[in-house]
A and B are shown apart, each in its own frame.
Chain A
């Protein structure tokens, strides 16, 4: 079955960088849109970034544009999120999500990795 396993979260100081990874299995990773979605403590879901099946197109929320970069390695079935210039507002659980066949929804989610930005 579909499995998505995020890693790379942790505690980081403001202004520093962090890279998240999402290992995918159980489906044809190279043919699916993939996303990062985050959830700040006690808050709702916020879409962060998405990438087309081949990585040629990247899409970002205004809140992270210019600071975060989404990428993928289809040979390794892995999705990445490079996060730079982190601030306290980026503190959240970060989920990796698989795009559905329509490319407009998300039909599978990982369990998330926690990023805490604090001095």
Chain B
């Protein structure tokens, strides 16, 4: 089955760089998307098509891909970046399914 694997948690100090990974065998063939979600709020798209940034998303958010792993990088982390982060891709091998990773809690120490 199509699965995306993320680390449960990542912790960084303010101003440092946070890297959140997402692994999946099908990622080389599909674009990855990243969302953040703060408690009690709806998810927000922060990266689309592996590395593109929607308007309104700060430049400190970036995405990259290497083989079966995609990475969300947050440079110069700020306290407001503390949130849950989810990767997502689409399984088009049969009928379409949209799949989310399990989520990563980013803690700003």
Query: Which A residues form the contact surface with B (CB < 8 A)?
Result: 35, 37, 44-47, 50, 59, 61, 95, 97, 100, 102, 104-112
In contact, A104 and B45 (Cβ under 8 angstroms): no
In contact, B45 and A112 (Cβ under 8 angstroms): no
In contact, B54 and A107 (Cβ under 8 angstroms): yes
CA distance A84 to B86 in the complex (A): 28
Interface contacts beyond A59-B95, A108-B45: sample of 14 additional A-B pairs, CB < 8 Å, sorted by A: A35-B98, A45-B35, A47-B88, A47-B97, A47-B99, A104-B33, A104-B49, A104-B90, A105-B48, A106-B88, A106-B98, A107-B48, A107-B54, A109-B44
Q: Which 5 A-B pairs have the closest CB atoms?
A: A105-B33, A44-B103, A109-B42, A47-B98, A45-B100
In contact, A100 and B42 (Cβ under 8 angstroms): no
Query: Pick the contact of B45 from A45, A61, A106, A111 — CB < 8 Å?
Result: A106
In contact, B99 and A112 (Cβ under 8 angstroms): no
**Given known A-B contacts A44-B100, A59-B95, A107-B54, A100 and B48 have beta carbons under 8 A apart:** yes
Contacting A at CB under 8 A, from B17-76, are 30-31, 33, 35, 37, 41-45, 48-49, 54
**Given known A-B contacts A107-B48, A107-B54, A50 and B42 have beta carbons under 8 A apart:** no
